[in-house]
Structure 1
Amino acid sequence: MKKWLPFVFLLTTLVCSAQNKSIEAYAGFIEKIDSLHIEHQIPGLSVGVMRNDSILISTGVGWANVEAKKDMTAQTPVRIASLTKPIFSTLFMRLEEEGNVDLNWKIKNYVPNYLERCERILAYFEKQMPEYAFLLKDYEPNRDDILLKHHLSHTAEASPGTNYKYNGLLYGMLSAVMKTATGVNFDRMVDSLIIQKLELKHAASSQLDDTKTELLNTIALPYHFSEDDSFVRSPFPDKDLNAGAGLVFSVEDLLLFDKALTHNTIISNKAKEKMFEPFLLNDGRRSPYGYGWFIDNYKNNKVIWHYGWQPKAYSSLYVKIPEKNLTLVMLTNSEGLSSSFNLSNGNLLQSVFAQAFLDQFVTD
């Protein structure tokens, strides 16, 4: 397994300009992440840390392509899995701000053939993929009170707004809402309002983007760890894009997106703060999730975050602490960054990778 040693000079260069932090402190974080990536059987990992718009760490370890021994770097395009959700949510909140959508609309009015679609998907799961039938088991599409905000906040199941339950399938339905409300597909919107506007160099709206063939040929390949202690190529997950998954970004691109989010380049501060607030359940309890983001707390600091997990393929982590203008992004080409930590329950501290970051960079 490739070590961090080739990156020591880069790390030293990056941290020499950082204030109130020693080279040794950053090296300790890198050493910890190196140890964790080996422990959790990750072939390639890219990581970026940014504070006050300055990049403190931007590098990679291991292989984007194990067979070809191609380095994983901060510029390597990676399937970001469910980190697609906060990016979609950002655009959705922009549409609401512009009056193109209303979070209190009924979803059945904005998803074409809504009831038929739900019934067809459930029937398929029950017959072909029973392990996924739970995704629609507690969803009642015949109800008249399922609103867009319930899908955006993962509170659409059973009695809408009553309980939080992470459900990527139901979140993904919001792509159809965007198309119905605006006439524009999610891929075109993310292309124009994020990738092109922010001049992202290593991003694509999906693996099906035929304008990015050269870029997509450099994508980090997915792997899983075999019983004989070796990495085995996995098939790519579904290449289609929806609100819940499918975007291809590098760590460098996500840091640029984060900077734009911080400075309200994409949406207003008012819309952003609405997105970053925990959803209030019907009984007044605060959900661990807002609109497209998890909300947590660490040492009295509000933490906005999300993770991604595509089994045996990709995993990712994005942690943002607004009060400190501090951000972490990690992308990997295996499931090891997320599969062991049950992050869907909303507790970021279950991730040893997140804990290493918080311990190192949030001291008060």
Structure 2
Amino acid sequence: MLRALLAFILLAAPAAAAAQDEFAEFEAFLEEFRRDHSTPSLSAVIVRDGAIVWEGYFGTYDDEGEIPTTADTTYSIASVTKPIAATAILAESLAGDLELGTPMSTDADWDGTCEWLSTSAIPFGGGGADRHGNPIAPMDCDRPTTLAEMLDMRANGDTFVYNPIAFARIDRAISGAGGRALRAIVRDRVMEPAGMRNVALGWHDPEQGDALRFLAPPFHPVGDIMAKQALSDDDFRAAGGIIAAPRALAAFDIAYDAGLLVPPALRKRLIDDVEIGPLGDYRHGWWLEDWAGERLMWHSGWDEGRYSSLYLKVPRQRLTLVVLANTEAVWWGNSLVKAEVAESPIARRFLDQFVAPRRKD
């Protein structure tokens, strides 16, 4: 027995070392990125085939720069909240407790918000063009946008326009139609079945656990000084507000791919059945993009001057990257009408190192 155990250890050790070597270059890249972008704390995980295969925790997360970033360190994930909230809403609908045909106008302030946005200088409100010259349609207040259409970012017309303010009205529309509070929907339909721990659904979450105790405070460069920033007082909405560590997002990712949250057919539809053009698409809380023959599902997060995040899935390869930071360094200024995660330096490095080589095999 002892001889067999020793043989197993001798065989397993090189395999474990080889597995770590696979990620060493990417780990070094993230640490260099963190330093180059003056980011005190950065955390990342890679999920492959339904399990975490690598984790990296870089820098420190306290005011004095003395407490190392760990797996428990949490961040505001900003708009990465959207695919989580959208998945919970879809699950609530499939359970028969919510009608996706509910009009957004059940939110009592929807019409006023739309009138203000559509006449504003905000590009996703009043319209305009992105940096590539692609037109951004103004918000269409005559269009009876439904909850299902809002999950696909269709408040501006038949073609998607990333409209976070309109998306943030989803919980009000649900409540206006007599539905449950969004916090309860997300906790029951996603957090509990996925086993997500130490997650705060906004500042007013009565069950926030240790998510705030381990929160990395946000910083922003002011000249040569990294200045600590005031925390946002925005509460939880479908558009943002979750505070979590990467392992919680990995738990969501694993449960989502396993079909524990919504039926696999919904995920398959986004991967195989939705035809997208050169600008990509937005469906069910996900940006969709084709890169080198691979369908990408992703979301970025940007809490201006405070936090940034990236959640990138390569579903056909069963591969996922999550990166969270307590500065806006991870944000790269994605277009409102074009999915372009490959423009992110971190995403591009990940795709080039882990996705492209596997396509050649």
Q: Same fold (TM over 0.5)?
A: yes
SS in structure 1 of the partner of residue 108 of structure 2: coil
Matched, 1:72 2:69: yes
Instruction: Give RMSD over aligned pairs.
Output: 2.8
Q: 1:311 to 1:16 in 2, by over 3 A?
A: farther
Deviation string, structure 1 residues 212-262 (Cα, Å, up to 9, x no partner): 36541221111101202x211111123311110001111011101111001
Closer, same or farther: CA 216–301 of 1 in aligned 2, 3 Å: same
Q: Identity across aligned pairs (percent)?
A: 24
Give 1:258's aligned residue. Answer: 253
**Corresponding residue number in structure 1 for 2:89:** 92
Alignment partner of 2:268 out of 256, 266, 273: 273
Farther off after superposition, 294-303 or 217-226: 294-303
Q: CA deviation at 1:310?
A: 1.0
AA matched with 1:147: T
* TM-score normalised per structure 1: 0.82
1:154 matched to which residue of 2? Answer: 153
Q: State whether structure 2 residue 70 is matched by structure 1 residue 81.
A: no
Report deviation, 1:80: 0.6
Of 144-153 and 308-317, more deviation after overlay is shown by: 144-153
Name the structure 2 match of 1:342: 334
**Quick one: structure 1 residues 176 and 278, their matched pair in 2 at CA, closer, same or farther if it must change by over 3 Å?**
farther
Q: Per-residue CA shift, 1:49-98, capped at 9, x if unaligned?
A: 01112322113101222425222223212111001000011012213323
Structure 2 Cα separation of the partners of residues 61 and 81 of structure 1: 20
Residue 192 (structure 1) shift:
2.4
AA aligned opposite 2:147: L
Equivalent runs, 1:168-207 vs 2, <5 Å: 168-181=164-177, 183-207=179-203
- State the Cα distance separating 1:297 from its structure 2 match: 2.3
Change (3 A) 1:236 1:105: same
Distance 2:30 2:303 in 1: 21
Unaligned stretches of 5+ residues in structure 2: 1-11, 127-137
1:40–1:326 CA distance, 2 compared to 1 (3 A)? same
In the alignment, what sits opposite 2:9? none
Which has the larger displacement, 201-210 or 92-101? 92-101
Paired residues, what number? 334
Distance 1:280 1:104, change over 3 A: farther
CA deviation map 1:138-189 (0-9, x unaligned): 2232x143233332222322xx21x322111111111122323453111122
For 1:222-261, list aligned pairs within 5 A.
Answer: 222-228=218-224, 230-261=225-256
* 1: CA distance, partners of 2:125 / 2:261: 33
Quick one: distance in 2 between partners of 1:37 and 1:80? Answer: 17
Q: Cα offset for 1:273?
A: 3.1
For residues 32 and 209 of structure 1, the distance between their equivalents in structure 2, rounded to whole angstroms, comes to 35
Structure 1 equivalent of residue 139 of structure 2: 139
* 209-218 or 301-310: bigger deviation: 209-218
Does the alignment pair 1:51 with 2:43?
Answer: no
The residue number in structure 2 matching 1:3 is none
Q: Which residue of 2 aligns with 1:7?
A: none
